[in-house]
Structure 1
Amino acid sequence: MEWQLELLTWIQSFKTPILDAFFLVVTASAEEFFFIAAAAWFMWCQNKQLAQRVGFAFLTSTVFNPTLKELFAVERPIGAYGIESMRVETAPGYSFPSGHTQSATSFWFAAALGIKANWIRILAVVMISLVAFSRLYLGVHWFTDVIAGVFFGLLWVFAIDRFYSYCVKNNKLSLLWLVLLPFTIAYLLYPENKPLIVSFGASIGFLAGIQLEHRFIQFNVQGALWKKLVRFAIGLLILLLIKSGLKPILPFNEALNDLIRYTCIGLWITAGAPWLFQHIKPLND
C-alpha cells in the first residue's frame, strides 16, 4: 500500500477550496439521489424501455459491489497518515472495489449501450473518470479500488445487458430473477450490510415492477412537457413519502425496514407511478 499512499498524498497536494467543492459535486453524481432522479425521469417521461434496461443492470451491479467488498475486506485509507478524507459519510464499510466508481461505471456504460451515440460515449468516459478520480482526491479510496470499480462495473453490465436483452426479446422476463439468486445468499450472509440491503431491496422491487408494467400497465411516456414535469414532481414527492414515511412506522429491525422501504421504492418507480399516471387522464392524454 506504500505506493498507493504516496499517490494519494501527491494528488491531495493540489487541494484547493474550489477543487474540493468541484469533486464533492462530482462524487455526489454517483450517489442515490442522482440515480433515483434519472431513473424516475426516464421511466415516467422519456424512454421507459431504456430506463428498465439501464436500471436493472445498474441496480444489480450495486448489489454485486458490497458483496465483493465483504469478500475482499480491504480497509480504506481513511485515517492514514498524511491523508485528509472528506465526505466520509459516503464511505462506510470496506474499500475494494469503489462503490461510487462501480455505480458510475455501471450507469454510464449501460446508458451508452442503450443509446448508441457518440455524445453519450464521450460523456460516459468523462463521468466515470471524474468520479473515480474524485474518490482518490477525497481520500476515501485506494487507486486499486477505483480501477477495480471500473473493471467490475464494465464486466457486470456487459454480461447483464446481454442477458436482459435476451429475456426481453424472447419474452422471458421471469428468467431475470436468476440474477438475484446469488445476492439472496449474500443478503443472508451479510444481513447488516446496509448498502447491500438497500440495493437488493431496490432490485427486487424494480424487477417485480418491470414485470407488472410489461404485463398489466404498458404506460405511454409521451405527452407535453408540462405533463411530464407534473408527473415527475408528483412521482418524486410520493417516492420521498415512501422513503421517509415508512421509516418510522415499520415495526421491524432497521435492516428489514430498509429492505422493505427500498423494495417499495423500486416497485413505485417501475410500476406504481406508471399505474397512477395511467389513471390520471390529464397527465396521460
Structure 2
Amino acid sequence: MQESIMLFFLNIENPVLDFLGNIASLLGEQTFVIAVILYIFWNHDKKKGFGLYSSVLLSVIAMGILKAIVRAPRPFQVLESIQGKRLATATGYSFPSGHTTTGAAFYTALALSFRKRKVSIFCAIMMTLVGLSRLYLGVHWPIDVFAGLLLGVFISFAFYHYLDYLYDDENRRMRYLLIMGTIFAVSGAVISILLNFFSADETAFNDLMKVLALGGGGYLGFALENKKVQFLTDGTLGKKIARYLIGLVVVLLIMGSKVIIPESLYAIGGFVRYSLVGFWATGLYPLIGKNLHLFSGAR
C-alpha cells in the first residue's frame, strides 16, 4: 500500500510539481516557522509568540525522540525507483516526518492563536500541503506523514491552553522556563558531547540535539526577557521592519558561524550555535534592542 502511494507520486512527477513541492516543503521547515514566530514575538504579540514557540518546540522534541527510537529508513533508501528530492532536508530517520510535525504543530497553534475561520482554513490547507510535499519529494512514507500530522496537531491542542494559562501567571511561567530551559540545555549538551567523542548515532541524535539546544537557549532567553526586559511590541511599521530585519540578520550570522567551527567539534559547535540562536531571539536581542530603542519598555 505505502509503496503504491509512493509510486503514484513518482508517476506524476514534472517540473511544475517539483517547484510547487519544494515551496510547500519549505513552508514546514523550521527555518521558515522560526522566522514567522520571531516576527510575531517581536512585533505583534509576545504571548502568542511564546505559545507558538512552545507548541512547535514540544512537538519537534517528541518527534525527535520517536525518530531516535524507531530509526526507520526513508523511501529513497529502500525503493530503487525513488531518487528523492530536496535531500538536504532529509537529515534524520524517516518516522515520523519532521516537516509534517513542525507544520502541523505550527499551523494548529496559529489557528488556535487567532481563532478566525479564514485563518483556520488556511492553516489546515498549509499543513496538508506540507505533508503531501514530503510524499511527492520521495523523502517520507505515508505513515510518516500521517504520524507527523497526528503528533503535531495533538500536542498543539493538548498544550496550547495550558501554555496560554501559564503565560498569564508570571511566577509559574518563570519556574517553567528555568526548569525546562535547564533540562533542554543540559540534555542537548550531553548529546552533543556523546556525538563528538563517543560515536553516537548522528542520524538519530544530531537533529534532536539541535532542537534541545534551541529550546534550552530560547526558554532561558524568555526567562531573561521576563525578568529584565519586558518589552512592548508597539512601534511604527518602519520600526517594526527594522527591528525584525536586524534581529534576523544576527540569527543568520550565528547560524553561518558554522564555517569557523572545527570539523572535530561539529556537534558541540552545533549545540553552541543553536543555543545562541534561541537565547538571542527571546532574551538577549530584546535586552540589547531596548537599550538601542528598537524596543520600548513596559509602562
TM-score (normalizing by structure 1):
0.91
2: CA distance between counterparts of 1:251 and 1:134?
33
2: CA distance between counterparts of 1:213 and 1:251?
34
Q: In the alignment, is the contact (CA less than 8 A) between 2:255 and 2:277 conserved in 1?
A: yes
1: CA distance between counterparts of 2:94 and 2:125?
23
1: CA distance between counterparts of 2:8 and 2:60?
30
- In the other structure, the counterpart of 1:278 is 290
Cα offset, 1:165, TM superposition: 2.5
| Code of the aligned partner of 1:221 | T
| Code of the aligned partner of 2:114 | I
Equivalent position SS for 1:281? coil
1: CA distance between counterparts of 2:161 and 2:52?
12
* CA RMSD, 1 decimal: 2.4
- In the other structure, the counterpart of 2:87 is 88
1:72-111 matches, cutoff 5 A: 72-79=70-77, 80-111=79-110
- In the other structure, the counterpart of 1:115 is 114
2: CA distance between counterparts of 1:251 and 1:77?
30
1: CA distance between counterparts of 2:83 and 2:38?
35
| Code of the aligned partner of 1:204 | G
| Code of the aligned partner of 1:38 | V
- In the other structure, the counterpart of 2:36 is 38
State the Cα deviation string for residues 196-226 of structure 1 (Å, max 9, x = none): 1111111011111111112211111111111
Question: Does residue 55 of the first structure (1) align with residue 53 of the second (2)?
Answer: yes
State the Cα deviation string for residues 27-79 of structure 1 (Å, max 9, x = none): 01111321232122112222222111111111222122121011112111014
| Code of the aligned partner of 1:202 | L
How has the CA–CA distance of structure 1 residues 260 and 161 changed in structure 2, closer, same or farther, with 3 Å as cutoff? Answer: same
Q: In the alignment, is the contact (CA less than 8 A) between 2:188 and 2:209 conserved in 1?
A: no
Q: Which runs of 4+ in 1 moved over 3 A?
A: 176-192, 249-252, 282-285
- In the other structure, the counterpart of 1:12 is 10
- In the other structure, the counterpart of 1:265 is 277
- In the other structure, the counterpart of 1:229 is 241
- In the other structure, the counterpart of 1:163 is 162
TM-score (normalizing by structure 2):
0.87
Cα offset, 1:17, TM superposition: 0.5
Structure 1 stretch displaced more, 237-246 or 84-93: 237-246
2: CA distance between counterparts of 1:282 and 1:196?
33
1:16-27 matches, cutoff 5 A: 16-27=14-25
Equivalent position SS for 2:73? coil
Structure with the bigger RCO (C-alpha within 8 Å, sep 6+) is 1
1:65-214 matches, cutoff 5 A: 65-79=63-77, 80-171=79-170, 172-173=172-173, 174-176=175-177, 181=183, 188=190, 191=195, 192=202, 193-214=205-226
2: CA distance between counterparts of 1:14 and 1:152?
28
Cα offset, 1:104, TM superposition: 0.2
How has the CA–CA distance of structure 1 residues 265 and 182 changed in structure 2, closer, same or farther, with 3 Å as cutoff? Answer: closer
Cα offset, 1:91, TM superposition: 0.8
Cα offset, 1:168, TM superposition: 2.1
How has the CA–CA distance of structure 1 residues 282 and 19 changed in structure 2, closer, same or farther, with 3 Å as cutoff? Answer: closer
Equivalent position SS for 1:78? helix
What stretches of structure 2 of length at least 5 have no aligned partner?
Answer: 196-201
Cα offset, 1:82, TM superposition: 2.3
2: CA distance between counterparts of 1:138 and 1:160?
31
How has the CA–CA distance of structure 1 residues 284 and 123 changed in structure 2, closer, same or farther, with 3 Å as cutoff? Answer: same
Q: In the alignment, is the contact (CA less than 8 A) between 2:108 and 2:153 conserved in 1?
A: yes
2: CA distance between counterparts of 1:210 and 1:250?
30
2: CA distance between counterparts of 1:63 and 1:183?
13
1: CA distance between counterparts of 2:188 and 2:290?
37
Cα offset, 1:134, TM superposition: 0.4
Cα offset, 1:246, TM superposition: 6.2
- In the other structure, the counterpart of 1:240 is 252
Equivalent position SS for 1:158? helix
What stretches of structure 1 of length at least 5 have no aligned partner?
Answer: none
How many residue pairs end up in the alignment? 283
Structure 1 stretch displaced more, 135-144 or 61-70: 61-70
1: CA distance between counterparts of 2:39 and 2:72?
36
